[in-house]
Structures are given as structure tokens and as C-alpha cells.
Chains A and B, each alone.
Chain A
Amino acid sequence: GAGVSQSPSNKVTEKGKDVELRCDPISGHTALYWYRQSLGQGLEFLIYFQGNSAPDKSGLPSDRFSAERTGGSVSTLTIQRTQQEDSAVYLCASSFAISTDEQFFGPGTRLTVL
């Protein structure tokens, strides 16, 4: 069956521009997670959704980062006024529920801010 998909796979942008990253979770998965993987910080949790709701935004690195999820499915992570330190691979994962269920990861979006 179809796994988690993310688009674009690569994004190169100039400092100060806004970017939108998209995640399509596995059909029927109510829980969706965003993580960021960078050389300096490793793989770190950003935000999660239970359905369309994101109860805790404290993992987002700054107020330039926001995320939404619509229809209990697709999620977008938006970074405004990108900075060079935002360069990283942004990974999305989904699971059947917020529980101890396995999280399935997408291939990631590699963001480079010049």
C-alpha cells in the first residue's frame, strides 16, 4: 500500500523567502508528526497532530514555523522568512493513533536556504 509521501523532495530557497512543505500520511492514520533532521541537532520532534488539532506547538523552533492539517489528512509545514539555520531534512511520520503504535516515516524534504 501507499506509504507516507512528502513534497517537494528537495527545495532550495533564498534567505528571507517563505516555504511550504507538504505531507500526505497513510490513509486512515489519525496521528501525524513533523520532525527535523540536521547535522548539528540530529533528529528532533517539531509538532504533532491528532486529527486536525495540534495541541502543543512548543517544539517548533521559532514563531516563523507553523503547521496545519486539514480534513484529517494532508499537513503543511510553513517556514516564513527562512534563515540558513533552517536548512535541514524535514520528515513527516504518521501512525494509526496517538499511542505506542509504530510511526511510519516519509522520505523527507531536503531544504537548503542560501
Chain B
Amino acid sequence: QKEVEQDPGPLSVPEGAIVSLNCTYSNSAFQYFMWYRQYSRKGPELLMYTYSSGNKEDGRFTAQVDKSSKYISLFIRDSQPSDSATYLCATLSGSARQLTFGSGTQLTVLP
């Protein structure tokens, strides 16, 4: 079993829709959770960063962590075609604080 599992997608939605992206993780010791966005042929860029449980909101994006169920979510409101990208959930672990990523969900927002 991978440490971080992510819904495989791909996901296609109409412009303006609410998007829900989800991951689960196996190690209850994980404390830091991230969402990265990766456009085609580019490196990942940090979108949201949360510590422990709870919600964090930034504009149209909301990150949610439920440590009791080991569940991580990212919600995108009023989705735009420019949101079309691959979204990767990740946790920080190890002495190196390396990132452990989910497999990524490819999102397409249709105009």
C-alpha cells in the first residue's frame, strides 16, 4: 500500500463548477499536508499548505484535513479553464522532510 493514495481521475468539469479532489494517507504520524499544482511540462508549485487537522481557505481554494479518517481534500470553487492542471497531494516526512506525493489527478475545466 502506498503511503499516500489519490483518486486517479482524470476529472473533467464545466467552467464554474465546484471541484473536489481527495487523498488518503496511511501514516498517522503525518502532520503537514500540501497540495501542489503542476501544469504540463512544468515543475509542481505549492498551492496550499496545512498543518494537522482543519480547514484552510485561500481565495477559491479550500484545503481540508481530517486526521481521524486520514483524509485530505482540496475544493476549488468557481473553477476556471486556467485551473486545468494536475493536482498532487503530498505530505512531509522523514528526517529530510522529503515530500511523499499521491499519484496526481488530472483536472480539465471546460469553457
Question: Contact residues of A with B, CB < 8 Å?
Answer: 4, 31, 33, 35, 42-45, 48, 50, 55-56, 59, 91, 93, 95, 98-100, 102-108
Number of interface residues of B (CB under 8 A): 21
* A42-B102 contact, Cβ under 8 Å, with A98-B96, A99-B97: yes
Pairwise interchain contact A45-B98, C-beta atoms closer than 8 A = yes
Q: Are A42 and B43 in contact (CB under 8 A)?
A: no
The distance in angstroms between the C-alpha atoms of A2 and B69, with both chains bound, is 40
Of B14-22, B44-52, B58-66, B71-79, the stretch lying at the interface with chain A is B44-52
* Interface assignment of B53: CB less than 8 Å from any CB of chain A: no
Give B42 Cβ to nearest chain A Cβ, in Å. 6
Asked, given contacts A100-B92, A107-B41, A107-B42, whether A43 binds B104 with beta carbons under 8 Å apart, the answer is: yes
Chain A residues with CB under 8 A of B41: 107
- Given A42-B101, A100-B32: A33 and B96 within 8 A (CB)? yes
A-B contact count (CB 8 A): 55
Among candidates A31, A50, A100, A105, residue contacting B43 with C-beta atoms closer than 8 Å: A105
Q: CB < 8 Å: which of B45, B96, B104 contacts A105?
A: B45
| B100 contacts the other chain (CB 8 A) | yes
Contacts of B96 in A (CB 8 A): 33, 45, 48, 50, 55-56, 98
- Collect the chain A residues with CB atoms within 8 Å of residue B100's CB: 45
Residue B28 interfacial (CB < 8 Å): no
12 pairs from A and B in contact (CB 8 Å cutoff): A4-B43, A42-B101, A43-B44, A43-B104, A48-B96, A50-B96, A56-B96, A91-B43, A100-B32, A100-B92, A105-B43, A107-B41
- Check B46 against A43 for contact (C-beta < 8 Å): no
How many Å lie between the Cα of A35 and that of B42 in the bound state?
14
CA gap between A20 and B31 in the complex, in Å: 35
Chain B proximity of A78: nearest CB distance (Å): 20
Chain A residues near B104: list those with CB within 8 A. Answer: 42-43
Is there an interface contact between A102 and B49, defined as CB atoms closer than 8 Å? Answer: yes
Question: Which B residues touch A105, using CB under 8 A?
Answer: 43-45
In whole angstroms, how far apart are the Cα atoms of A42 and B103 in the complex?
5
